Amino acid sequence: MAERTKADRQAAAKKGAATRQRKAAEKSGAGAKSSAKSAGTTAVSAAKSLGESVKQAGKSVASRIGALGKGR
C-alpha cells in the first residue's frame, strides 16, 4: 500500500466533508419539498371541505325556504 502524505489525508478529509454537507443539503431539500407538497394537499382538502360546506348550506337554505312557502 502506498504511503499517504499529510496533504493526501487533508484532501480526502475535505472531500468527505463536502460530500456530507451536500448530502445533508439534499436531505433537507427533500424535506422541504415534501412539506410543501403536504401543505398543498392540505390546502386542496380544505378548499374541497369549504365547497362541500357551502353546498350543504345552500341545500339547507333552499329546503327552509321551501318549507316556509308551504306553510303559508
Domain ranges of the chain: 7-72
The overall average pLDDT reported for the chain is 81
Q: CA 36 to CA 8: how far, in whole Å?
A: 42
Least confident of 6-10, 28-32, 37-41, 49-53: 28-32
How far apart CA 25 and CA 27 sit, in angstroms, is 5
What number of other Cβ atoms are within 10 A of residue 50's Cβ?
10
In angstroms, what CA-CA distances link 32 with 21, 41, 68?
16, 14, 54
pLDDT band at 59; cut points 50, 70, 90: confident
Q: Record the pTM.
A: 0.41
pLDDT in tens, 11-32: 999 999 999 998 888 887 776 7
